[in-house]
Amino acid sequence: MMGCKSNSLTCLQGGKPALPLTTTTDSTATLNKLALATGGTEKSWYRCIFPFGIVSLVIGVAATCITFIINGPQMDIAKAVSVATLMFGVGLLVAAYICWRAKRERQRQRQREEPLSLEQGAL
């Protein structure tokens, strides 16, 4: 305790790390905290990967054009990296599109089921 200069729990316990008091977590509370911290974007990550896909695609196109215009023995690795960047960008855009379509389909399905539940509640 002599070498401890902060008031943390470990220092107050004499340098011995303590076990966590609770070992179980409530998944709903954890998800609510995640939603609060991220602004609710954890369910729409396709919105996050879409800009990265666009940037990667633009960089990949530019690098591919430059490396294939310049021919030389040292450009083989650069060509491979530029094509890989191009494919990575396309892959991100395809993943964002697939996730967007799946979310849209789920929303349509919920909208179709919603009138049925309202009719059942009215009876």
> Residue 31 — φ and ψ, nearest 5°?
-65, -35
The pair of three-digit structure tokens given for residue 96, joined into one six-digit string: 């964002």
pTM of the model: 0.57
Confidence bin at 111 (pLDDT 50/70/90) = confident
Say what the pLDDT of residue 48 is: 77
Given a cut of 70, whether residue 103 has pLDDT beyond it is yes
Give tens-digit pLDDT for 48-84.
788 888 999 999 999 999 998 887 777 888 889 999 9
pLDDT at residue 29 is higher than 60? yes
Q: Any residues with CB less than 8 A from the CB of 47 and at least 6 apart, and which?
A: 41, 96
Average pLDDT rounded to a whole number, residues 102-113: 87
